[in-house]
Amino acid sequence: MILIRPHPANLFVNLRWEKLTDYDTVVDFGKSCDLVTIEIEHVNVEAMKELVRRGRKVFPQPEVIELIQDKRKQKQFYKSGNIPTADFLMVENRQDIFAKKSFLPAVNKLGREGYDGRGVRVLRTEDDLSNAFDAPGLLEKLIDFEKEISVIVARNERGETQTFPLWRWSSTRKRTWLNTFSRQRRSAGPSRRRRTGSPGK
């Protein structure tokens, strides 16, 4: 197994740490692999597409990564597919957000480069508008929630899916097992579990 990371890590594998956004780095890394998997969306998509053209298997597919790299495209995808999501407005800059202040309270999210809470600012009142991003993004209606449940689903090449044990993510930022679901899914075996779909995601 070969890993490529943007920062060093203490792992007992063949490890390289280089920029995942650099086209040549990603192509050079992947050309010697039969299969390439991606853990984070901040990767050069064009390089991934080139690896597919060269016959390498890439998961998730580059087109999927390309979609989730832009939260604006994500929200439009949800809407077009009738997937429930918080109400939202597209914004181009801070001035645009000021013009749409009647939509508050809302969460201002950058269209690109946000990840796990980065690129996210909560705007509750007009006093918060000075904290808005001056870049393309969106305003997402603020939802008052008590807890959030994350679901990880894996799918293989045959289209078979497996749902892994659930996480509960509370508004107090404490992550715990949902033991009932954990017992039901224990037969799924060990997996790497991490939070997804939080307000910052």
Confidence of residue 105 (pLDDT cuts 50, 70, 90): very high
pTM here?
0.69
Residue 28 scores a pLDDT above 50: yes
pLDDT tens digits, one per residue of 47-99 = 999 999 999 999 889 999 999 999 999 999 999 999 999 999 999 999 999 99
Classify residue 200 as exposed, middle or buried by CB count within 10 Å of its CB (0-12, 13-18, 19+).
Answer: middle
Helix (H) or strand (E) holding 106: strand 106-110
Query: 2-68 and 71-141 share one CATH topology?
Result: no
Domain 2-68 class, CATH top level? alpha beta
Residue 159 scores a pLDDT above 50: yes
Confidence of residue 8 (pLDDT cuts 50, 70, 90): low
Write the DSSP string, 25-72.
HHHHHHTT-SEEE-SSS-S-HHHHHHHHHTT-EEES-HHHHHHHTBHH
The CA distance from 22 to 145, in Å, is: 39
pLDDT tens digits, one per residue of 179-200 = 433 444 444 444 333 333 334 4
- Mean pLDDT (the chain, rounded): 80
The CA distance from 106 to 140, in Å, is: 5
User: How does DSSP classify residue 101?
Assistant: G
Q: What is the pLDDT of residue 58?
A: 93
The CA distance from 55 to 57, in Å, is: 7
The CA distance from 185 to 26, in Å, is: 36
Where exactly are the structural domains of the chain? 2-68, 71-141, 147-188
Give the 3-state secondary structure of residue 129: helix
pLDDT (mean) for 40-52: 93
Homologous superfamily of 71-141: ATP-grasp fold, A domain (3.30.1490.20)
Residue 171 scores a pLDDT above 60: no
